[in-house]
Amino acid sequence: MSKSRNIVLGAVLAAGVTGPVLAGPLGLGRPATPDEIAAWDTDVRPDGTGLPDGEGDVWTGEELFEANCAVCHGDFAEGVDNWPQLAGGFGTLDQDDPVKTVGSYWPYLSTTWDYIYRSMPYGNAQSLEPVDVYALVAYILYSNDLVDDDFVLSRDNFLDVEMPNAGGFRVDDRAETEYPLWRGEPCMENCKDAVTVTMRAAVLDVTPDDGAE
């Protein structure tokens, strides 16, 4: 967390902690039971917090992938039609049309596990057991050439997997790189010598017909 945001927090707390809203609870709601929390709280964090017991291997994952995932994501996680590509795209992030996949882009393996377990397959989410998800994640790693075909993924070795783009992200830096450039009184008169039209949407002609006059 950046220093500037800690300063903001300090100000919020100073203004808010003693306010009437924080004066005390109203006694509304009821305690959540451990079963209820376990049912809904399935998030997994980058450090592995939240991972359940279990393990799964690449070949089990391939079978599950063919049965549950390949119709959209392709047999090799390469994507079908407009559906997301899960593998490949290495070395494309600084190119014109970057291919962002689990292998080329995602910083943490936890996200893959978490997202598949909660929200996939598309249209039949929350139908997979934890062992299924371990196997599917192992297969996706294999599809990205990040593990060998005899790899078995488990909670114990989860953090050993190196994600290629783990270092590819930085916290929002607009406050340093942009805002100072664009503050101050803007030009009102004689701001340019000439203005030329450089691109026209009508030439591309991809707008739905009934949307334009």
Partner 1 sequence: MSYRTSRRALLKGGMAAGAFAATTGTARAAESDPLITEPQFWAQGFGDGVDATPYGLPIEFESDVIRRNVEWLTADTISSINFTPIHALDGTITPQGCAFERHHSGAIELRKDDYRLMINGLVDKPLVFTYDDLERFPRENHVYFCECAANSGMEWAGAQLNGAQFTHGMIHNMEYTGVPLKTLLTEAGLGAAGDLAGKWVYVEGADASSNGRSIPMEKALEDCLVAFKANGEALRKEHGYPVRLVVPGWEGNMWVKWLRRIEVMDAPVEAREETSKYTDTLADGTSRKWTWVMDAKSVITSPSPQSPITHGGGPLVISGLAWSGHGAITRVDVSKDGGKTWQTARLARPGEKRALTRFYLDTDWDGQEMLLQSRAIDDTGYVQPTKDQLREVRGLNSIYHNNGIQTWLVNPDGKAENVEVS
Contact between residue 144 and residue 103 where contact means Cβ atoms under 8 Å apart: yes
Q: Which x/- pattern over 36-55 shows residues binding partner 1 (rule: CB under 8 A)?
A: xx--xx-xxxxx--------
Q: How far is the CB of 70 from partner 1 (least distance, A)?
A: 15
Amino acid present at 106: W
Q: Which x/- pattern over 116-135 shows residues binding partner 1 (rule: CB under 8 A)?
A: --xx--xx-xx---------
Q: How far is the CB of 150 from partner 1 (least distance, A)?
A: 28
Can you point out the beta strands (E) in 50-162?
Answer: 55-57, 152-154
In terms of CB distance, is 148 or 184 closer to partner 1? Answer: 184
In terms of CB distance, is 150 or 177 closer to partner 1? Answer: 177
| Positions 52 through 111 that interact with partner 1 (CB under 8 A) | 72, 81-84, 93-98, 100, 102, 105-108, 110-111
Residue 45, CA distances (Å) to 29, 83, 113 in order:
28, 26, 10
Amino acid present at 162: E
Binding of partner 1 at residue 14 (CB under 8 A)? Answer: no
In terms of CB distance, is 148 or 170 closer to partner 1? Answer: 170
Q: Which of 133, 132, 74, 67 is nearest to 101 (CA)?
A: 74
| Positions 174 through 213 that interact with partner 1 (CB under 8 A) | 174, 177-179, 181-184, 186-192, 194-202, 204, 206-208, 210-213
CB atoms < 10 A from the CB of 159, how many? Answer: 14
Measure the CA–CA gap between 16 and 115, rounded to whole angstroms: 35
Q: What is the largest CA-CA distance in the chain?
A: 69
User: 3-state DSSP call for residue 57?
Assistant: strand
In terms of CB distance, is 148 or 199 closer to partner 1? Answer: 199
